[in-house]
A and B are shown apart, each in its own frame.
Chain A
């Protein structure tokens, strides 16, 4: 069976184990402070974000496939083809993997076998990532709607017309759903799809909101990072970035982190919006930072994945992939998983 799987891997996606800290790929280099455990090559760019669940990494690629890889060694488990590129981050719920595709469909696939459970069609490519809550999937689409779909039946519970493409990934907190639109509106809906409030920025919200401590944090292409009261929609503060942002913020106990197209990873005090530190990459940061233990992990279009001490912004290590990283890293089993536009998915020690 293993041979058969390896054979498939050789045919359809190439598995590259990388022992002893050696990255045997031209254009890459080893980095002090981390070690590449393995990398897996898809047939086209990996612009989206992997998801880790139960020892498996699920990741979509612009080769149209959703891949399942064993987290510990990168072994190919299965792949599921769609008819469009996948930039959406898969969600994992009830032993199913849920992912949107540019073929306009949301696909629900069994995590074990990679077989289709059901699909749900929208009227536009899906670049938003699904969020699962209360037995329903919430996902945006380029058809300008946020869709609420029953996870058991694949049937639509409701559809909310947001007026412009929804590429932002919804955040669900308490009984509210938050998401941005390409027209620069941040919506708060209740579970019946009714608008509770809306907040307007000057340009698009491609970034996905993060909810923490009663506040919604989201970046905009108008070069602002906003903190908005989650209940009323009042703007608490806004912080001017060097350029616009499609990076989605993450939070710690008292800090907010985000990247921006000016190539900077920012750390702000969540209460005062004062800048705590900034780290300047060599090119744009469209990837979103993630916090794991005492570090922030964030990729850049400069081809590096950076690990920074989250309190100080000090560089712990950087791993040079050499091709732009536009997606966000995921973490599981103390391993950082990240995709890149060199078609590969990498597993690095944290």
Chain B
């Protein structure tokens, strides 16, 4: 390989000298001596400082609200959440840092609430230790892993912790890591992340690891049938539920305007997306917006625990 690269960039001096002679033709333009710079008269624009109209816009401001409800038909809350939003000083610039997790302990399994709590603690501890705390060193060094690797390692650690501590239990987990201009999501199960960009329709950023979603993707049932399907709570992938275990990890450019919503299926499975969007857009206070989402889910029967983390991104 090295010899190839040398060949690629190396110069055969003899060949070049021969060729230099060969290229002397009447049509060849006269070449000024090397190093002789042109002496054009100076114009104002020649001395202009290099500038750009397209300067980087400042990073978006992140505001966050959250809320939880046990619902109307469950006796205990098996969901767990984690919320951290701050600014870090990196490379002499303020960098937004946010980490948000929702985990929905699996009902019908043992210790669902413990599994979701363990998962949230294990992942948040891992990310804060690897990424956040080193930023407080006198000379902060960037992590030796990528953001996606840190998240992926963290969710595997959470998975192993649950299997070891409470075998048989399980939980979903959806987490969003905001670092600078990027938002990295990791996801297992059927909790969801929604993006509602300003003046654009909302989009689901995560893909449910559920039986009905798979059937829907295969064209065997419609989206409407999936909502009513008796096995809509059956997951084929969850933390603590054995192999094969593979989290989804993906990174998106952070929008400078709009909302990001993380929620459990106690919300999205009960309220249509349009209604969620209408509540978010009509309620400027984020905590009140979360409360309104919980109220709407409970008004629709509240069949499951409800958790929501709502972020507003503004410049």
Contact = CB atoms under 8 A, between A and B. Distances in A.
Contacts of A284: 1, 4
A244 interface: yes
B138 interface: no
A170 to B, nearest CB: 13
Contacts of A26: none
Given A227-B251, A237-B149, A118 B23 contact: no
Interface stretch (A50-58, A81-89, A310-318): A81-89
Given A43-B19, A81-B28, A215-B253, A152 B43 contact: yes
B5 interface: yes
Nearest to B33: A119
* Chain A residues touching B, majority SS: loop
A136 interface: yes
B180 A232 contact: yes
A49 B184 CA distance: 36
Given A8-B25, A119-B32, A231-B56, A62 B11 contact: yes
Interface residues of B, number: 65
* Chain B residues touching A, majority SS: loop
Contacts of B43: 152
Contacts of A230: 181
Interface in B1-42: 1, 4-5, 8-9, 11-12, 15-16, 19-20, 22-32, 34-38, 40, 42
A47 interface: yes
Interface string A98-142: 000011110001000111111111000001000001111000000
A271 B20 contact: no
Most buried by B among A176, A230, A237: A237
A346 interface: no
Nearest to B35: A121
B161 interface: no
B31 A80 contact: yes
Interface of B: 1, 4-5, 8-9, 11-12, 15-16, 19-20, 22-32, 34-38, 40, 42-43, 45-52, 54-56, 59, 90-91, 93, 95, 142-143, 145-149, 179-182, 184, 248-254
A135 B181 contact: no
B19 to A, nearest CB: 4
A302 interface: no
A191 interface: yes
A12 B22 contact: yes
Given A136-B50, A152-B43, A237-B147, A229 B181 contact: yes
B38 A153 contact: yes
Nearest to A165: B9
The interface size bin for chain A is 35 or more
Given A64-B16, A115-B29, A83 B50 contact: no
Contacts of A148: 50
Given A44-B19, A234-B182, A237-B147, A175 B54 contact: yes
30 contacts: A8-B25, A12-B25, A43-B19, A44-B19, A62-B12, A64-B16, A79-B27, A85-B11, A104-B34, A114-B29, A115-B29, A116-B30, A116-B31, A133-B52, A134-B50, A134-B51, A148-B50, A153-B37, A154-B38, A155-B37, A174-B54, A196-B91, A199-B142, A215-B253, A233-B142, A236-B146, A236-B182, A237-B147, A237-B148, A272-B249
A215 B16 contact: no
